[in-house]
Amino acid sequence: MLKGSKGYKVFTVFNYILLTLFTLMFCLPYLMIVSASFSDELTLIRDGYSLFPRGLSVAAYEYIFTENPLIFSSIWTSVKMTVIGSVLTLIVSGMYAYPLSRSYIRFKKFFNIFMIIPMLFSGGLIPYYLTVTEVFGGILYDSIWAIILPGSFAIWYAILMRNYFLSLPESLEEAAKIDGASDITVLWRIILPLSKPIIATILLYCAVSLWSNWTGALLFIRTPERYPLQFFIQQVMANVNSLYPATSTTLQPSETLKMACVVVSSLPIIIIYPFVQKYFVQGTTLGSVKE
Find, among 249, 248, 263, the residue nearest to 65 by Cα.
263
29 shares its domain with 88: no
DSSP secondary structure, 132-178, as one string? IIIISHHHHTTSTHHHHGGGSS-HHHHHHHHHHHHTS-HHHHHHHHH
Q: Which domain holds residue 47?
A: 1-57
Let me know whether 90 and 147 are in one domain: yes
What's the pLDDT score for residue 111?
A: 82
Q: How far apart are CA 278 and CA 203, in angstroms?
A: 13
Return phi, psi of residue 52, to 5°.
Answer: -125, 145
Question: Within this chain, do residues 143 and 224 fall inside the same structural domain, yes or no?
Answer: yes
**Residues 87 and 205 grouped into a single domain:** yes
Task: Judge if 100 and 143 occupy the same domain.
Answer: yes
Report in angstroms the alpha-carbon separations of 200 from 89, 130, 161, 163, 194. Answer: 12, 33, 11, 15, 12
Candidates 85, 211, 212, 200; CA nearest to 151 is 85
* Domain identity same for 41 and 153: no
Asked if 167 and 286 count as a contact pair (C-beta separation under 8 A), the reply is: yes
Distance separating alpha carbons of residues 265 and 218, to the nearest angstrom: 17
pLDDT of residue 248: 46
Q: Is residue 82 located within the same domain as residue 33?
A: no
Same domain, 51 and 74: no
Last residue in a domain, options 14, 39, 57: 57
SS3 content of the chain, % helix, strand, coil (to 5): 75, 0, 25
Three-class SS of residue 52?
coil
What is the CATH classification number for the domain harbouring 247?
1.10.3720.10
Same domain, 41 and 72: no
Query: pLDDT truncated to tens, each residue of the chain (291 aa)?
Result: 556 677 778 888 888 999 899 888 888 888 888 888 888 888 888 887 888 887 888 888 888 888 778 888 888 999 999 999 999 998 888 888 888 887 777 888 888 888 788 777 777 788 888 888 888 767 788 888 888 888 888 888 888 888 888 888 878 888 888 888 887 888 888 888 888 888 888 888 888 888 888 888 888 888 888 889 888 888 887 776 655 544 444 445 577 888 888 888 888 888 887 777 766 666 555 544 444
Contact 223, 142 (CB under 8 A): yes
Are 231 and 258 found together in one domain?
Answer: yes
Domain boundary among 37, 57, 77: 57
DSSP assignment string, 264-286: HHHHHHHHHHHHHHHHHHHHHHH
Say yes or no: 42 and 99 in one domain. no
Q: What CA–CA distance (Å, rounded) separates 95 from 202?
A: 14
Last residue of a domain, one of 57, 79, 99: 57
Query: Contact at 8 Å (CB) between 71 and 229?
Result: yes
The total domain count for the chain is 2
Same domain, 71 and 49: no
Closest CA to 263 of 69, 80, 29: 29
Report the pLDDT value the prediction gives residue 18, as an integer from 0 to 100: 92
